[in-house]
Amino acid sequence: MSPVPVVTIDGPSGSGKGTVSRLVARHAGWHLLDSGALYRLVALAGARAGLGFGDRDAHAALARSMDVTFGTDSGGGERVLLDGRDATDAIRSEDCSRGASRVAAWPGVREALFARQRAFARPPGLVADGRDMGTVVFPEAELKIFLTASAAERALRRHKQLKDKGVSANLATLSREIAERDERDSTRPIAPLEPASDAHIVDSTGSSIDQVVGRVLMLGRERRLWR
Ligand code: C5P
């Protein structure tokens, strides 16, 4: 076993991996890496710096130099700071979703984020959520989960999430955007979205979050990662 145990939870957008990862990390008392947030932050940093969209080198430089802090506010809510400015809500916009998926296809950006992501593996353990956590960033992970759900269900979940936040969204547009993002993430030549050969595939279509978390916790217990 590597010195710091790592559990990876990869999958497409809307598969529930963010929520599942957070709950598993909380159960284990481990750190959490939301790697998608890093790609979103690169897109946001580029927009804030007024970079042109094709400027790969400048985006890679930002991925290396941007100052990122993941923390909590006084009410216990999660906050992300980019170069000292709150970016929590800004990185969740559809613009940032689209931008993240574009910059994520650039090798220089992925390379720059690799070391940052590895640095999240600190005792007592890490739950890493993303697309290539089990295949590229933590190939040595003790437990790898690939979480899926049907495209229709993922669009519905995203729609509900936005509605709960008071953001109006059109289901058909969301479905189309999710399909486009899936296509871009799965077909890019570098670190495409695909399960690691040793990943457990968990399909969450029709399952509650509790059921999915229960399944992941059971797999971790079988490996004596937590109680
Ligand atoms: O998970 P999230 O939706 O926040 O990720 C935003 C985008 O970042 C994804 O569409 C994907 O293109 C990219 N990403 C990635 N590799 C990761 C995490 C996210 O390419 N490990």
Domain of residue 135, CATH code:
3.40.50.300
Task: Judge whether 1 lies within some domain.
Answer: no
Q: Is the CB of 181 under 6 A from ligand 1?
A: yes
- In the chain, the number of structural domains is 1
Query: Ligand 1: which of 101, 109, 116 to mutate, judged by most atoms within 8 Å of the beta carbon?
Result: 101
Task: Judge whether 227 lies within some domain.
Answer: no
Give the chain's mean pLDDT: 95
Tens digit of pLDDT for each residue in 59-101? Answer: 999 999 999 999 999 998 999 999 999 999 999 998 998 999 9
How far is the centre of ligand 1, averaged over its atoms, from the C-alpha of 169 (Å)? 21
- The pTM is what? 0.94
Residue 197: domain span: 6-222
13-23: average pLDDT = 94
Residue 150 has pLDDT above 60, yes or no: yes
HEC profile of the chain: CCCCCEEEEECCCCCCHHHHHHHHHHHHCCEEEEHHHHHHHHHHHHHHCCCCCCCHHHHHHHHHHCCEEEEECCCCCEEEEECCEECCCHHHCHHHHHHHHHHCCCHHHHHHHHHHHHCCCCCCCEEEEECCHHHHHCCCCCEEEEEECCHHHHHHHHHHHHHHCCCCCCHHHHHHHHHHHHHHHHHCCCCCCCCCCCCEEEECCCCCHHHHHHHHHHHHHHCCCCC
Q: Which carries the bigger pLDDT value, residue 162 or residue 24?
A: 24
Residue 2 has pLDDT above 80, yes or no: no
Tens digit of pLDDT for each residue in 39-69? Answer: 999 999 999 999 987 899 999 999 999 999 9
